[in-house]
């Protein structure tokens, strides 16, 4: 829409001259922001603004939403903090994160949730919400999932201490029966994991990781979950598909389940990743061979995958250098999520519109976020400006996570985030952090009537 100088308002921020990724497609338009929200889209050459962000030659995307982030605070601040993790997020174009519950103490009570949200209000660079961990104490779950700043309930069927482990069908059915929001589930079969540990306990190579936690570990758990979820009538989100078998199950259950995949499962393949990276490629679920990587990309093209996340799970290099399997699984990823996905756009694996769907629209829709996920009038002015012509090499030195490394060290990428805007506030400009910490709890459309703590 066009504005005349006689009627044009004074915008708080004017993003001028960029190619915006809108719901109708790509368009070279200006964006006017008032009160932290997009107020106008169109030709705004005559408009006045308190701040102007020159986007000429750049593409303007909705801010990235990363739905799988371990910020490690409280309890594991040597690995990461809310401040360092979210600083990396905004440098990488991420404006919202959903934080997982495996901290110390785990986020399984109202007090733990309130403490974590209080910390994030003071320290987070981006908007945030925190998952409540499913546990044996499920009676209060339906109330707690509606608390301000709660992203919903995360369920771990394997790979966690007993407090966060839901590996029994009776307990899982109880969890599914408490509450109404979509459950996010890590699907690995704990009994099969334990039964197969002998494959790696005697000094195996990191490449044995995918043999130990094989496809059946993931597929059996996914099938169990979906059967129980259908009995309970509960919506679920499959957090990180890693195999062709899981893609088939997700396809068959689109009425009940949304599905996510991590950027590393789309980018790395066995056995080469283990030969090149050793325990840096040790992740949960494991990186599998190229046939499974191809199946994940086919699921992306078929629309089975709703979102791509980083599963940012930092560990120190000292910890990662332990002999496998004593080395911990996980890698930092929130800062590199968008750059690596932009390289996939450059390589022709997906379009810029598809990327926006997977990194912004899809996450907001799957979790029913209020005012997030698109560039549209009335929604939060969360933006990422990227230079598609930029060529960079990702290096450990660029990573601001306390872990200080990335599995993509040395990877050449085409396309780079150069500016990040959160609710109309410029946080990153010319690749430099310039704003102030102003992260706030994400609001969700199905919990707008919040329950008091």
Q: 425 φ, ψ to 5°? A: -100, 125
Neighbours of 5 (CB within 10 A): 9
The rounded distance, in Å, linking the Cα atoms of 325 and 188 is 17
Residue identified by tokens 């909705």 is: 62
Q: What is the pLDDT of residue 203?
A: 79
Neighbours of 449 (CB within 10 A): 6
The rounded distance, in Å, linking the Cα atoms of 44 and 256 is 43
**Domain coordinates in residue numbering, the chain:** 63-366
Scored b (16 or more CB within 10 A) or e, 252-284 reads ebeeebbbbbbbbbbbbbbbebbeebbbbbbbb
Distances (CA, A) of 109 to 121, 143, 185: 18, 11, 19
> Are 340 and 411 in contact, with CB atoms under 8 Å apart?
yes
Written as six digits, the tokens of 137 are: 């104490």
Q: 3-class SS at 250?
A: helix
Strands (E), 214-306: 236-238, 257-262
Written as six digits, the tokens of 316 are: 């120190």
Pairing of strands 383-393, 307-309: unpaired
Q: For the CA atoms of the chain, what is the radius of gyration?
A: 21
Does a cis peptide bond (omega within 30 degrees of 0) precede residue 325? Answer: yes
Distances (CA, A) of 217 to 102, 195, 303, 422, 426: 21, 11, 24, 39, 44
> Are 394 and 325 in contact, with CB atoms under 8 Å apart?
no
What's the CA angle centered on 310, arms 309 and 313, to 5 degrees?
135
Q: 3-class SS at 381?
A: coil
Residues found in the chain: 453
The rounded distance, in Å, linking the Cα atoms of 415 and 274 is 27
Contacts of 3 (CB under 8 A, 6+ apart): 40, 42, 43, 44, 46, 47
The matching CATH number, chosen from 3.30.70.520, 3.20.20.140, 2.40.50.140, 3.40.630.40, for 63-366 is: 3.20.20.140
Q: At 248, which helix (H) or strand (E)?
A: helix 244-252
Q: Where are the alpha helices (DSSP H) in 141-203?
A: 141-144, 169-177, 190-195
Cα end-to-end span (Å), the chain:
44
Distances (CA, A) of 407 to 61, 91, 398: 25, 18, 12
Neighbours of 192 (CB within 10 A): 18
pTM: 0.97
C-alpha closest to that of 211 among 324, 82, 365, 89: 324
Q: What is the pLDDT of residue 8?
A: 64
Q: What is the pLDDT along the chain (453 residues), one digit of tens a residue?
A: 445 445 567 999 999 999 999 999 999 999 999 999 999 999 999 999 999 999 999 999 999 999 999 999 999 999 999 999 999 999 999 999 999 999 999 999 999 999 999 999 999 999 999 999 998 777 889 999 999 999 999 999 998 888 999 999 999 999 999 999 999 999 999 999 999 999 998 779 999 999 999 999 999 999 999 999 999 999 999 999 999 999 999 999 999 999 999 999 999 999 999 999 999 999 999 999 999 999 999 999 999 999 999 999 999 999 999 999 999 999 999 999 999 999 999 999 999 999 999 999 999 999 999 999 999 999 999 999 999 999 999 999 999 999 999 999 999 999 999 999 999 999 999 999 998 999 999 999 988 865 444
The rounded distance, in Å, linking the Cα atoms of 450 and 437 is 25
| Beta bridge mates, 118 | none
Q: 3-class SS at 87?
A: helix
């Amino acid at each position: 829409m066009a504005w005349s100088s006689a009627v044009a308002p004074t915008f708080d921020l004017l993003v001028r001259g960029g190619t915006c990724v809108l719901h109708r497609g790509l368009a070279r338009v200006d964006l006017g922001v008032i009160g932290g929200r997009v107020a106008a889209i169109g030709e705004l050459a005559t408009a006045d603004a308190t701040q102007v962000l020159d986007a000429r030659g750049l593409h303007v995307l909705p801010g990235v939403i990363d739905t799988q982030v371990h910020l490690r605070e409280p309890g594991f601040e040597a690995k990461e903090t809310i401040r360092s993790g979210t600083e990396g997020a905004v440098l990488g174009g991420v404006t919202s994160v959903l934080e997982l519950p495996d901290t110390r103490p785990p986020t399984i009570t109202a007090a733990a949730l309130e403490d974590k949200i209080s910390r994030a209000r003071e320290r987070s660079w981006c908007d945030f919400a925190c998952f409540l961990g499913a546990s044996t104490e499920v009676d209060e779950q339906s109330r707690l999932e509606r608390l301000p700043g709660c992203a919903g309930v995360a369920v771990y069927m394997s790979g966690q201490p007993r407090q966060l482990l839901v590996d029994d069908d009776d307990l899982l059915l109880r969890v599914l029966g408490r509450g109404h929001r979509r459950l996010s589930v890590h699907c690995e079969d704990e009994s099969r994991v334990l039964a197969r540990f002998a494959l790696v306990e005697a000094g195996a190579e990191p490449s044995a990781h995918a043999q130990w936690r094989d496809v059946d570990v993931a597929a059996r758990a996914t099938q169990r979950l979906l059967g129980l979820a259908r009995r309970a009538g509960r919506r679920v989100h499959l957090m990180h598909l890693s195999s062709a078998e899981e893609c088939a199950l997700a396809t068959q259950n689109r009425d009940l389940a949304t599905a996510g995949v991590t950027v590393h499962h789309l980018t790395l393949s066995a056995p080469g990743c283990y030969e090149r990276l050793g325990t840096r490629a040790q992740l949960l679920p494991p990186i599998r061979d190229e046939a499974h990587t191809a199946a994940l990309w086919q699921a992306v093209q078929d629309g089975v995958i709703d979102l791509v996340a980083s599963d940012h799970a930092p560990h120190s290099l000292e910890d990662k250098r332990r002999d496998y399997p004593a080395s911990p699984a996980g890698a930092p990823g929130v800062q590199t999520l968008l750059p690596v996905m932009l390289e996939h756009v450059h390589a022709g694996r997906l379009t810029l519109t598809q990327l926006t769907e997977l990194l912004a629209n899809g996450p907001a829709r799957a979790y029913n976020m209020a005012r997030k996920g698109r560039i549209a009038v009335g929604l939060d002015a969360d933006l990422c400006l990227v230079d598609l012509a930029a060529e960079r090499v990702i290096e450990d030195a660029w990573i601001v996570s306390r872990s200080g490394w990335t599995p993509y060290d040395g990877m050449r990428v085409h396309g780079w985030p150069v500016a990040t805007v959160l609710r109309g506030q410029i946080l990153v400009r010319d690749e430099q952090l310039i704003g102030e910490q102003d992260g706030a709890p994400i609001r969700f459309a199905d919990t707008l009537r919040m329950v008091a703590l």
